[in-house]
Amino acid sequence: MMEASLLKLYIGNKNYSSWSMRPWVLLKQAGIAFEEVMVRFDSFEADSQFKRALIELSPTGKVPLLVDGDIAVWDTLAIAEYLAEAFPEKQLWPKDTKARAHARSVCAEMHSGFSALRGACPMNIEASLPDIGALVLRDQPGVGADLNRLAELWGGVLARHDGPFLYGDFTIADAYFAPVVMRIRTYALPVPAAVDAYIGRVCALPGVKAWIDGALAEQDFLAFEEPYRLSR
């Protein structure tokens, strides 16, 4: 097993960085010790401070990035798998083979899909944008389709497993969907009661709550991350 004290997780602004939220919440909720290194978003141009800080550590120059000694792991799925292998006692994937395969499938679907919802409703934990959510649903059918798919997916998984989270106990899948939970809250997107209850349980997780608290404490308004608000 790796030495947990060596782990470093490079992340972006907690208010905006949905990709960073996944491994951070996973590590925090699983009780795996790590050092957080926040690299503030200034821009994503090649000459930005953000890119210059990361490009020597990761070939993509993006967050999140997990560093364990001389090993650098980028991409959220790769980080999740690395942690699951390094800390088998944490049982980060479901125990059951079929459930584990299904959990990997839904994480991969989230990783590569739901582009309409993610594009129209960028993560912004500090904001409350219900009017924007209503307009987006009215004007962009793809967002409604993505939201319906999420409700179908979560509702189906929750109905098949005995526990408060998708596969019973907290797993990588719950951490993986945490950013879209934030989007649903920010934009007040309508979901069925069972899904809304799941969202409430995710938000109450200590690891998720700690991320939300950190996002609210930042008070770092970045105009290029704010398509709906020009100023506070």
Tokens of 197: 């209850």
Amino acid at 221: F
CATH architecture of 97-205: Up-down Bundle (1.20)
SS3 33: coil
- Give CA 201 to chain center in angstroms: 15
Q: pLDDT tens track of the chain, all 232 residues?
A: 444 458 999 999 999 999 999 999 999 999 999 999 999 999 999 899 999 999 989 999 999 999 999 999 999 999 999 999 999 999 999 999 999 999 999 999 999 999 999 999 999 999 999 999 999 999 999 999 999 999 999 999 999 998 899 999 999 999 999 999 999 999 999 999 999 999 999 999 999 999 999 999 999 999 999 999 865 4
Contact 64/79 with Cβ under 8 angstroms? yes
What single DSSP character describes residue 71? E
Bond from prior residue into 23 cis (ω within 30 degrees of 0): no
Residue position matching structure tokens 């942690």: 83
Query: Of 160, 195, 162, 158, which Cα lies nearest the Cα of 180?
Result: 195
The pLDDT score that the predictor gives to residue 1 is 43
The Cα–Cα gap between 107 and 26 comes to 13
User: Please, which residues have CB within 8 angstroms of residue 73's CB and are 6 or more apart in sequence?
Assistant: 65, 66, 67, 79, 82
Residue 143 CB partners (closer than 8 Å, separation 6+) = 116, 117, 120, 121, 136, 137
Question: For position 164, what pLDDT does the model report?
Answer: 96
Residue-range domain boundaries for the chain: 4-90, 97-205
The pLDDT, as a whole number, for residue 229 is 81
CATH T-level fold of 4-90: Glutaredoxin (3.40.30)
Contacts of 216 (CB under 8 A, 6+ apart): 15, 125, 126
